[in-house]
């Protein structure tokens, strides 16, 4: 599974990965000898055995312990307008220790006040980079001590909180899982850093050819790491992993002061299969050209009517309004009067209800490594909790059938289906999409979809329809801009917001298209998918790094999960668009050099 990475300019949190489905509970041939020679695995295994055997006087013993470690190398470089901004190569070791007290039915997790009690006066923020068995054991011992003392304090406070709450239906706190063992050989490729530096300089210079662009950045990140995971149930994993990320972001300012943005990302799990220079240059040039066009485009007007989401825009829409809501979240136990903020899925409690047209299905399948000859970014085998992941039918003939589940049981869903992709809150993992396939049994060619949009608008006496071809997802906006989008919210009763459209067009009865800017959605949410009236015969693959930040904000969230969405173009019956009302920044006093 490629679950979690630390990435961007922070560090790299690699996925917890392992176990092919066919060999989920079988010892692989490379296992014993390879693991005995690995000081990290030996230290984790031996300290785990010692921790399980310790008898603690007057305290509850741990019933579950897991050790995870991402051991790797990170190379990053960034450039602007042909000039190098930064370059860094670092080694990292990022541990994660989980100690639970109580039992599977009731433990220290899922308490809103958990995670703040250590009971120790030392903090092991970093791990040694050398493979010294004795040193590794000592660090694991101290980390286990911190986690155990925190767990003991947390479960006591959780019990006290429950005594002051009305009795509710008891749901288990942790689901059991079959042990998995897979130890793979470690491989490491040479990263030609000078070549990457020249490459990022050259690519960033493309934006310098466009005087309208006032802010731009091109960055690359190459991560090679090995993920280790062992737990007290018998799971042992070791899997090498690579991530190559290229990202270009740019912004321009229209004559009225409005800032417009666009971005593009390139991803690969294999250094050798990363995009070549021609593809990179085409993609970055397309971003620059779109900004040039957006600067000259008129501001849109309020609109309510049919909207067509075409190509990447449709896949981005599905990722946000459906993908995020397929992960259930459990309300934590909290002290009386301290419930705090809790965001639940908009689909919670709707299993068995129609959420899409009866001719549409949705399947999440991490076992597929390729689709039509293209590598799928969301492929993995075992999730971050050591659970083997298989395909899950989420929507069948328009009816919601299942959710993305972790080892934290939900009402009506007692077991995990291997979808723990990110760290969650209060001792739990967060579920997430892997490879999400949206399939339609009734389709029309995309040109016919556009004709249907125009026909619907003509029948409703509307002067034009709307086509959305790209959204700001993952968002390249600043934190302040995202706060403004979230604070505006949406009309129509939806608590969640959808990222702003980047490439949005008016399409007139004669087929003419006009690019517009400065629009936001109103009332667009997962329930809008019930109003899909037609789907195209196309399928677009959209890869992105998911995280816990709003709109999967680029380089945010620290932990990320590789995700892919495959979806057709969609025509939705009625959606609102509103003109963005905001104070616009003043234009630069002096034009750019050379203009």
Residue 364 and residue 270 in one domain: no
Q: What's the confidence (pLDDT) of residue 534?
A: 98
For residue 357, being part of any structural domain is answered with yes
For residue 150, being part of any structural domain is answered with yes
For residue 591, being part of any structural domain is answered with no
Backbone angles phi, psi at 206, to 5 degrees: -60, -40
For residue 259, being part of any structural domain is answered with yes
For residue 313, being part of any structural domain is answered with yes
Residue 265 and residue 408 in one domain: no
Question: How many other C-beta atoms are found inside a 10 Å radius of the C-beta of residue 370?
Answer: 9
Question: For 362-377, how does the pLDDT look when each residue is reduced to its tens digit (9 = 90+)?
Answer: 999 999 999 999 999 9
Confidence of residue 314 (pLDDT cuts 50, 70, 90): very high
Question: How many other C-beta atoms are found inside a 10 Å radius of the C-beta of residue 491?
Answer: 12
Strand 532-535 versus strand 570-579 pairing type: antiparallel
The tally of CA atoms less than 13 A away on the side-chain side of residue 576 is 14
Q: What's the confidence (pLDDT) of residue 136?
A: 95
**Domain span at 201:** 5-293
Q: Is the CB of residue 284 less than 8 Å from the CB of residue 394?
A: no
Q: What's the confidence (pLDDT) of residue 495?
A: 47
Residue 118 and residue 204 in one domain: yes
- The span from the CA of 386 to the CA of 90, in Å, is 28
Q: What's the confidence (pLDDT) of residue 396?
A: 98
Number of H helices, E strands in the chain: 8, 24
Is residue 414 scored above 90 in pLDDT? yes
DSSP state of 323: I
Residue 78 and residue 153 in one domain: yes
Is residue 115 scored above 80 in pLDDT? no
- The span from the CA of 492 to the CA of 160, in Å, is 40
Pick the closest to residue 288 from 231, 222, 377, 215 (CA basis): 215
Residue 230 and residue 378 in one domain: no
Q: What's the confidence (pLDDT) of residue 300?
A: 96
Question: How many other C-beta atoms are found inside a 10 Å radius of the C-beta of residue 589?
Answer: 5
Residue 30 and residue 165 in one domain: yes
For residue 337, being part of any structural domain is answered with no
Residue 358 and residue 281 in one domain: no
Q: What is the CATH number of the domain that holds 284?
A: 3.30.2290.10
For residue 590, being part of any structural domain is answered with no
Question: For 63-91, how does the pLDDT look when each residue is reduced to its tens digit (9 = 90+)?
Answer: 999 999 999 999 999 999 999 999 999 99
Q: Is the CB of residue 527 less than 8 Å from the CB of residue 345?
A: no
Q: What's the confidence (pLDDT) of residue 491?
A: 42
pTM: 0.90
Average confidence (pLDDT) over 198-218: 96
Tally of structural domains, the chain: 2
Is residue 551 scored above 50 in pLDDT? yes
Kindly report which listed range (274-278, 414-418, 498-502, 578-582) carries the lowest average pLDDT score. Answer: 578-582
Please report, to the nearest 10 degrees, the dihedral formed by the alpha carbons of residues 543, 75, 558, 374 taken in order: 10
For residue 61, being part of any structural domain is answered with yes
Q: What's the confidence (pLDDT) of residue 122?
A: 61
Average confidence (pLDDT) over 202-206: 98
Residue 251 and residue 396 in one domain: no
Is residue 157 scored above 80 in pLDDT? yes
Residue at token pair 């700001």: 472
Average confidence (pLDDT) over 539-566: 90
Q: What's the confidence (pLDDT) of residue 488?
A: 66
Average confidence (pLDDT) over 249-266: 95
Q: What's the confidence (pLDDT) of residue 379?
A: 95
Is residue 585 scored above 90 in pLDDT? no
Average confidence (pLDDT) over 88-100: 94
Is residue 570 scored above 70 in pLDDT? yes
Question: For 319-345, how does the pLDDT look when each residue is reduced to its tens digit (9 = 90+)?
Answer: 999 999 999 989 898 887 665 566 789
Mean pLDDT, all residues of the chain: 88
Is residue 356 scored above 80 in pLDDT? yes
- The span from the CA of 307 to the CA of 296, in Å, is 23
Is residue 11 scored above 60 in pLDDT? no
Strand 83-101 versus strand 62-80 pairing type: antiparallel
Residue 263 and residue 311 in one domain: no
Share of the chain above pLDDT 90, in %: 73
Q: What's the confidence (pLDDT) of residue 481?
A: 79
Q: What's the confidence (pLDDT) of residue 3?
A: 40
Is residue 514 scored above 70 in pLDDT? yes
Confidence of residue 483 (pLDDT cuts 50, 70, 90): confident
Is residue 118 scored above 80 in pLDDT? no
Q: What's the confidence (pLDDT) of residue 583?
A: 73
Residue 168 and residue 309 in one domain: no
Exposure class string for 222-249: b at 16+ Cβ within 10 A, else e:
bbbbbbbbbbbeebbbbbbbbbbbbbbb
Backbone angles phi, psi at 398, to 5 degrees: 85, -5
Kindly report which listed range (198-212, 400-414, 480-494) carries the lowest average pLDDT score. Answer: 480-494
Residue 496 and residue 537 in one domain: yes
Question: For 368-405, how does the pLDDT look when each residue is reduced to its tens digit (9 = 90+)?
Answer: 999 999 999 999 999 999 999 999 999 999 999 999 99
Average confidence (pLDDT) over 561-584: 93
Pick the closest to residue 62 from 70, 72, 71, 53 (CA basis): 53
Q: Is the CB of residue 501 less than 8 Å from the CB of residue 521?
A: yes
Residue 276 and residue 388 in one domain: no
Kindly report which listed range (3-17, 359-373, 577-591) carries the lowest average pLDDT score. Answer: 3-17
Confidence of residue 318 (pLDDT cuts 50, 70, 90): very high
Q: What's the confidence (pLDDT) of residue 126?
A: 76
Q: Is the CB of residue 65 less than 8 Å from the CB of residue 52?
A: yes
């Amino acid at each position: 599974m490629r679950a979690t990475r630390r990435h961007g300019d922070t560090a790299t949190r690699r996925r917890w990965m392992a176990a092919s489905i066919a060999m989920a509970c079988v010892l692989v041939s490379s296992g014993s000898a390879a693991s005995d020679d690995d000081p990290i695995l030996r230290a984790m295994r031996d300290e785990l055995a010692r921790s399980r055997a310790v008898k603690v006087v007057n305290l509850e013993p741990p019933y579950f312990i897991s050790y995870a470690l991402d051991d790797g190398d990170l190379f990053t470089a960034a450039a602007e307008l042909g000039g190098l901004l930064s370059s860094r190569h670092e080694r990292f070791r990022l541990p994660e220790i989980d100690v639970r007290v109580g039992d599977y039915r009731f433990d220290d997790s899922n308490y809103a006040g958990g995670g703040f009690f250590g009971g120790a006066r030392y903090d092991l923020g970093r791990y040694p980079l050398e493979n010294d068995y004795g040193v590794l054991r000592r660090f694991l011992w101290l980390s286990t001590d911190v986690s155990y003392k925190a767990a003991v304090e947390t479960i006591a406070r959780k019990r006290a909180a429950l005594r002051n709450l009305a009795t509710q239906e008891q749901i288990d706190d942790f689901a059991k899982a079959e042990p998995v063992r897979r130890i793979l050989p470690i491989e490491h490729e040479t990263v030609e850093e000078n070549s990457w530096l020249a490459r990022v300089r050259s690519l960033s210079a493309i934006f310098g050819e466009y005087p309208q662009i006032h802010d731009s950045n091109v960055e690359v990140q190459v991560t090679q790491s090995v993920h280790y995971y062992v737990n007290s149930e018998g799971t042992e994993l070791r899997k090498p992993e690579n991530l190559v990320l290229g990202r270009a972001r740019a912004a321009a300012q229209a004559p009225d002061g409005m800032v417009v943005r666009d971005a593009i990302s390139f991803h690969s799990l294999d250094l050798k299969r990363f995009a070549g220079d021609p593809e990179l240059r085409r993609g970055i040039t397309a971003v620059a050209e779109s900004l040039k066009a957006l600067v000259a485009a008129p501001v849109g007007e309020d609109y309510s009517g049919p909207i067509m989401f075409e190509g990447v825009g449709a896949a981005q829409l599905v990722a946000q309004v459906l993908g995020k809501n397929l992960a259930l979240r459990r309300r934590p136990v909290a002290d009386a009067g301290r419930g705090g903020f809790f965001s639940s899925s908009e689909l919670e409690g709707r299993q068995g209800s129609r959420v899409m047209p009866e001719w549409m299905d949705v399947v999440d399948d991490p076992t597929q490594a390729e689709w039509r000859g293209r590598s799928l970014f969301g492929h993995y085998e075992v999730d971050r909790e050591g659970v083997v992941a298989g395909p899950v039918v989420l929507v069948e003939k328009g009816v919601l059938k299942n959710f993305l589940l972790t080892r934290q049981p939900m009402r009506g869903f007692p077991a995990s289906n291997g979808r723990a992709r990110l760290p969650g809150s209060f001792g739990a993992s967060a579920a997430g999409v892997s490879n999400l396939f949206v399939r339609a049994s009734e389709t029309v060619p995309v040109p016919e979809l556009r004709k249907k949009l125009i026909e619907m608008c003509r029948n409703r006496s509307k002067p034009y329809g709307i086509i959305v071809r790209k959204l700001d997802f993952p968002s390249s906006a600043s934190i302040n801009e995202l706060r403004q989008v979230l604070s505006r919210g949406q009309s129509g009763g939806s608590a969640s917001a959808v990222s702003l459209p980047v490439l949005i067009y008016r399409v007139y009865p004669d087929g003419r298209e006009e690019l517009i800017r400065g629009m936001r959605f109103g009332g667009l949410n997962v329930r809008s998918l019930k109003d899909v009236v037609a789907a195209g015969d196309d399928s677009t693959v959209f890869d992105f790094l998911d995280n816990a930040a709003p709109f999967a904000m680029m380089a945010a969230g620290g932990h990320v999960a590789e995700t892919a969405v495959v979806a057709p173009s969609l025509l939705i019956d009625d959606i609102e668009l509103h003109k963005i009302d905001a104070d616009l920044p003043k234009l630069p006093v002096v034009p750019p050099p050379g203009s």
